Structure 1
Amino acid sequence: MGKIVFIMDVEEGHILPTFTLAQSLKDRGHEVLYLSIADNEVFVRKQGFDFYPIFLDKYPKGYREAYKRRNANIPGTATSNDTHIWEIAEGAYDELIASLKADLFIVSTFLRIDMLALYYRYGISPVVFTPYLRDAGVTTAIDCMDEFMKAPGEESMKFIEFLLSSGAVFSTLKDLVQPFDTFCELVACPRELEIATDHIPPNIHHIGPSVRTESGQGDHLPLDKIKGNRKLIYASMGSQAISYKYVCRSFFQKMIDVMKDIELSDYHLVLSVGPEFDEMTFSLVPENVTVVRWISQIEVLKYAVLAITHGGMGTIKECIYYGVPMIVLPLSRDQPSNAVRVQHHRLGLSAPIHGLTGSLLYSLIMDVLNSVEIGENIHKMKTIFQYKQASCPGADIVEHLLMKA
Structure 2
Amino acid sequence: MPKTILFWPDVYKEQGHWLPTLKWAEDMLKNGHTVNYMGIVDCEGVVKAFPIAINGAVTSFPYSRIFENIYPLGYTTESHTSPNERWRPDHIWAIAYSALGEDLAKYKDKLNKDLYEDALHFYQTMTNVNPDLLVSGYFTSLESLLIHKIYDVNVVITTTYLRHPSEDPAMRAIQNLMAFSPTEFFKLVNLCRYGDLKQAALDAEEDFVDLLQDPEIDIEDFVEDLQYFDELIPCPREYEYTHYNPGEKVHYVEPCILDRDLNSSTNSVLDSTVIGAGNKKLIFVTAGSQVLDYEGKARHLFHCMCEAMRSAELNDYRLVLGVGSKLINDYEWTEFKNQSNIIFASWVPQRAILSAPNLEFALIHGGLATIKECVYNNKKFLILPLGKDQIDNAMRLRKYGINNMVPVESITPKVLIDAIVNLKSDRKTLENLSKLSEVFQSVERESPGKQVLLDNLNS
Task: State if a TM-score over 0.5 links the two structures.
Answer: yes
Residue among 17, 42, 47 paired with 1:44 = 47
**SS of 1:86's equivalent?**
helix
User: Does 2:340 align with 1:287?
Assistant: yes
Q: Which consecutive segments of 4 or more residues in structure 1 shift more than 6 A?
A: none
Match in the other structure for 2:95: 88
Match in the other structure for 1:321: 376
**SS of 1:262's equivalent?**
coil
User: Does 2:273 align with 1:225?
Assistant: yes
**SS of 1:269's equivalent?**
strand
**Where does structure 1 lack aligned partners over 5 or more consecutive residues?**
none
Please tell me whether the aligned partners of residues 170 and 176 of structure 1 are also in contact (alpha carbons under 8 angstroms): no
Please tell me whether the aligned partners of residues 325 and 374 of structure 1 are also in contact (alpha carbons under 8 angstroms): no
Residue among 234, 243, 258 paired with 1:212 = 258
Matches within 5 A, 1:5-404: 5-9=6-10, 10-11=12-13, 12-45=15-48, 46-47=50-51, 48-66=60-78, 70-72=79-81, 74-78=82-86, 80=88, 83-91=90-98, 92=119, 93-150=122-179, 156=185, 158-163=187-192, 165=194, 171-196=217-242, 198-216=244-262, 217=264, 218-222=266-270, 225-226=273-274, 230-278=280-328, 280-282=331-333, 284-285=335-336, 286-303=339-356, 304-404=359-459
Please tell me whether the aligned partners of residues 5 and 105 of structure 1 are also in contact (alpha carbons under 8 angstroms): yes
CA distance in 2 between counterparts of 1:202 and 1:35 reads 29
Q: 1:328-362 deviations in whole A, cap 9, x for unaligned? A: 11122221211212222234411322243333322
**Where does structure 2 lack aligned partners over 5 or more consecutive residues?**
52-59, 99-118, 198-214
Residue 16 of structure 1, CA deviation: 0.8
Amino acid paired to 1:61: L
Residue 23 of structure 1, CA deviation: 0.6
Please tell me whether the aligned partners of residues 245 and 276 of structure 1 are also in contact (alpha carbons under 8 angstroms): no
Q: 1:258-291 deviations in whole A, cap 9, x for unaligned? A: 1222112122211111122236522543432222
CA distance in 2 between counterparts of 1:100 and 1:284 reads 53
Residue 319 of structure 1, CA deviation: 0.9
Identical-pair percentage: 28
Please tell me whether the aligned partners of residues 281 and 360 of structure 2 are also in contact (alpha carbons under 8 angstroms): yes
Q: How many residues align?
A: 399
CA distance in 2 between counterparts of 1:158 and 1:36 reads 24
Rg (Cα) greater in structure = 2
Amino acid paired to 2:431: E
Amino acid paired to 1:39: D
Please tell me whether the aligned partners of residues 80 and 292 of structure 2 are also in contact (alpha carbons under 8 angstroms): no
Instruction: Answer with 319-328 or 54-63: which moved more.
Output: 54-63
Please tell me whether the aligned partners of residues 302 and 322 of structure 1 are also in contact (alpha carbons under 8 angstroms): yes
Please tell me whether the aligned partners of residues 21 and 392 of structure 1 are also in contact (alpha carbons under 8 angstroms): no
CA distance in 1 between counterparts of 2:41 and 2:327 reads 26
RMSD (Å), alpha carbons: 2.5
